[in-house]
Amino acid sequence: METWEFGRTLRRWRDRVAPGDVGMPAGNRRRASGLRREELAALSGISTDYLTRLEQGRATSPSAQVVEALARGLRLPDAERDLLFRLAGHAAPGIDLVPTRITPSVQRLLDRLATTPVAVFDATNTLIVANAPYNALMGDTSGSRGIERNTIWRHLVGPGSRAIHSTEEQSGFETQLVADLRLTASRYPADRSLRRLIKDLAAQSPRFVELWESDVPLDRSNTSRHKTIDHPAVGRITLDCDALVVAGDDLRILVYTAEPGTVDAERLALAVVLGTQSLVS
């Protein structure tokens, strides 16, 4: 019964969300005013096939991460978000779990920055959401799943990023990422997903184990606010990278900007135009 009700509720709430409310073009050939399945799937970072099976009751027991992503994509208020968790068989996340909730106030901030590269990470440095300009600048993140969205995994195991670091800078960056995760683990000792992330990182990266056991303290004073991005289409772009911390929700918002009138500003604008065109096509 709950499986059927979860899918029915998901379909009903999807139908009531106007594309413009979530930053998507309405288009002229829509049979309904709500979101299409593929649009909600893209907003939530899941496949359209999986969303179809959830709505039809053929997929059961979606993870808490999937439910949170669907609630975020649908822009659900707190009461409806909690109901969606219950229908999926989960308790709504409490204060003992790493927050991944993007509140309406933070979402309004993101909407205001729709033409600026912006990404939101949780306290484990796992990507929650990235806007189209960010994907155009740093590479498309929409296909990343699970641990692939974690910044530590990306740098210690995965492909890294387009940001350029010297050997010394890269070492310091990795050290501070792991030190930050160690602090997060001390704040959320009951979070099983966090414990699993640490276990998976340790299994895949000897460098992670070395840094985890080093107990080097976190030192944010050494974090540079400037980053040089090696963009494949426009070359190197040096940008200001500001990390805005949403203290009450333990989120980190990364914002990339360039000084107006500079060559870097022109290259950033070109990278965003080229990237957003390729993402849409």
Whether residue 147 sits in one domain with residue 16: no
Whether residue 220 sits in one domain with residue 131: yes
Stretch 80-94: mean pLDDT: 87
The count of structural domains within the chain is 2
pTM (2 d.p.):
0.80
- 138-171 pLDDT per residue, tens: 999 988 888 999 999 999 999 999 999 999 999 9
Per the structure, the complete domain to which residue 262 belongs is given by 104-280
Whether residue 233 sits in one domain with residue 164: yes
Give the model's pLDDT for residue 200.
Answer: 97
Q: Domain for residue 83, yes or no?
A: yes
CATH of the domain at 72: 1.10.260.40
3-state helix, strand, coil in the chain (%, to 5): 50, 15, 35
Q: Domain for residue 266, yes or no?
A: yes
Q: Domain for residue 272, yes or no?
A: yes
Give the model's pLDDT for residue 221.
Answer: 62
Q: Domain for residue 118, yes or no?
A: yes
Mean pLDDT of the chain: 89
Cβ-based neighbours of 62, under 8 Å, separated by 6 or more: 6, 54, 70, 88
* Euclidean distance between CA atoms 80 and 144, whole angstroms: 27
Whether residue 205 sits in one domain with residue 72: no
Q: Domain for residue 176, yes or no?
A: yes
Q: Domain for residue 204, yes or no?
A: yes
Among 40, 60, 87, give the residue marking a domain's end.
87
- 161-217 pLDDT per residue, tens: 999 999 999 999 999 999 999 999 999 998 999 999 999 999 999 999 999 999 887
Whether residue 122 sits in one domain with residue 17: no
Q: Domain for residue 99, yes or no?
A: no
* Euclidean distance between CA atoms 98 and 145, whole angstroms: 18
Confidence of residue 1 (pLDDT cuts 50, 70, 90): very low
